[in-house]
């Protein structure tokens, strides 16, 4: 469980500069991604430990299948705006029949003589429960970091330091939505916990299973110091407060200027920072951006210089030695 006393004042989203980033900045959106798209193939893919017998696993699988099919059919009925008089009865019957079919199929496969050693029915039930458990988690995730000056994060997620980092504060009404990732430990989830969550509607068990599925990563990823927002998949309004933009060490000046100008009339002002290197170490430093200097340089018109000299008598200036003319081949 997340210790909210340890939550940071800011969380950061490292981004390359592209169309999606521009939309997120000017529309105050965040993209809740499917965990299957993450760069770590083991992320959000736990394994089930069958610590209970077949007699308890069978009703668990049956319930998982029923709930999945009922959810799918309810969503389909809502999409086509179907509200027949016996819709719920029809969904319940179809869900139960599909669950019966899946359990019967597992029981049939367990009779295969090629499956040797241990309880084949228990093993196959566990495998099917694991598959159903992963299918159950169809939520999206926004991955955020505790700091904006991590060189590895800039390299991996900030387009090799050419992108930017968006900083958010955490409103009190969004604290429960932000969850801290735990690093290390195993990938196993006890089947008994899943049963308590599904069959007994145990809130503590549900929280433990949620954490194991969505908030546990290998120790090697701990440099990310990641926090996650969990919600429906897709592009959505952010529940956080957009506070600042930090530009990467290699971020193009034209990109910096464009972002600053795009957000200049925002109702709630945004602060701007840039990443600089330290001459005495490999650490990065976050510094306040001097936007005044950019406003002097940009936007520029290339013909301004040509027109500024249009009225000058160049030949007279050359004769007076005010202009040095190089010989041309």
Radius of gyration of the chain (CA): 29
Tell me how crowded residue 269 is: count the other CB atoms within 10 A of its CB: 11
Start-to-end C-alpha separation, the chain:
76
Decide which of 187 and 225 is more confident: 225
What does the block give as tokens for 237? 């309004």
Q: Residue 170 domain-assigned? A: yes
Q: Residue 149 domain-assigned? A: yes
Whole-prediction pTM: 0.79
Which pLDDT value is given to residue 275? 97
Q: Residue 206 domain-assigned? A: no
Q: Residue 226 domain-assigned? A: yes
Q: Residue 112 domain-assigned? A: no
Count up the domains in the chain and report the number. Answer: 1
Which pLDDT value is given to residue 99? 95
Q: Residue 91 domain-assigned? A: no
- 164-182: pLDDT as tens digits: 999 999 999 998 889 999 9
Domain of 152 in residue numbering reads as 1-35+142-181+219-328
- 59-118: pLDDT as tens digits: 999 999 999 999 988 888 777 776 766 788 888 999 999 999 999 999 999 888 777 656
**Cα–Cα distance, 167 to 275 (Å, whole number):** 13
Q: Which residues contact 278 (CB under 8 A, 6 or more apart)?
A: 284, 285
On the question of pLDDT at 4 being above 50, the answer is no
User: SS3 of 20, please?
Assistant: helix
**Cα–Cα distance, 67 to 309 (Å, whole number):** 77
On the question of pLDDT at 191 being above 70, the answer is yes
**DSSP 8-state assignment for residue 327:** P
What does the block give as tokens for 99? 């669950």
pLDDT band at 38 (very low <50, low <70, confident <90, very high): confident
232 contacts 139 by C-beta, under 8 angstroms: yes
- What value does the mean pLDDT of the chain take? 88
On the question of pLDDT at 236 being above 70, the answer is yes
CA distances from 97 to 62, 103, 112, 181 (A): 10, 10, 24, 38
| Tokens 């795009």 found at | 262
Q: Residue 85 domain-assigned? A: no
Q: Residue 6 domain-assigned? A: yes
Decide which of 262 and 307 is more confident: 262
Tell me how crowded residue 273 is: count the other CB atoms within 10 A of its CB: 19
On the question of pLDDT at 301 being above 90, the answer is no
pLDDT band at 17 (very low <50, low <70, confident <90, very high): very high
**Percentage of residues in the chain with pLDDT exceeding 90?**
62
Which pLDDT value is given to residue 313? 63
Decide which of 293 and 284 is more confident: 284
On the question of pLDDT at 147 being above 80, the answer is yes
On the question of pLDDT at 153 being above 70, the answer is yes
Q: Which residues contact 54 (CB under 8 A, 6 or more apart)?
A: 119, 121, 122, 125
């Amino acid at each position: 469980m997340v210790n909210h006393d340890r939550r940071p004042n800011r969380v950061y989203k490292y981004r390359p500069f592209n169309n999606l980033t521009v939309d997120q900045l000017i529309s105050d959106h965040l993209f809740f991604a499917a965990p299957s798209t993450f760069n770590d193939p083991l992320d959000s893919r736990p394994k089930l430990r069958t610590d209970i017998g077949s007699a308890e696993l069978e009703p668990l699988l049956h319930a998982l299948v029923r709930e999945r099919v009922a959810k799918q059919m309810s969503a389909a009925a809502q999409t086509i705006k179907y509200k027949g008089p016996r819709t719920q009865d029809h969904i319940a019957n179809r869900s139960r029949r599909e669950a019966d079919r899946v359990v019967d199929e597992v029981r049939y496969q367990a009779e295969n003589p090629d499956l040797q050693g241990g309880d084949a029915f228990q093993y196959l039930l566990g495998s099917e429960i694991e598959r159903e458990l992963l299918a159950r988690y169809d939520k999206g995730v926004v991955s955020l970091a505790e700091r904006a000056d991590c060189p590895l994060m800039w390299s991996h997620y900030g387009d090799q330091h050419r992108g930017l980092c968006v900083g958010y504060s955490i409103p009190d009404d969004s604290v429960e939505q932000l969850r801290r990732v735990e690093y290390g430990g195993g990938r196993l989830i006890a089947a008994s916990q899943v049963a308590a969550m599904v069959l007994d509607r145990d809130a503590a068990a549900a929280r433990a299973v949620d954490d194991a599925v969505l908030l546990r990563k290998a120790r090697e990823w701990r440099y990310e110091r990641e926090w996650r927002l969990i919600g429906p998949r897709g592009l959505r309004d952010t529940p956080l407060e957009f506070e600042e933009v930090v530009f990467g060490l290699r971020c193009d000046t034209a990109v910096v200027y464009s972002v600053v100008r795009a957000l200049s009339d925002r109702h709630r002002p945004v602060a701007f920072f840039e990443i600089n290197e330290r001459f005495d170490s490999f650490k990065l430093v976050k510094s306040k951006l001097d936007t005044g200097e950019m406003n002097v340089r940009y936007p520029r018109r290339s013909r301004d210089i040509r027109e500024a000299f249009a009225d000058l008598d160049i030949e007279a200036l050359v004769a007076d030695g005010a202009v040095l003319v190089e010989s041309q081949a």
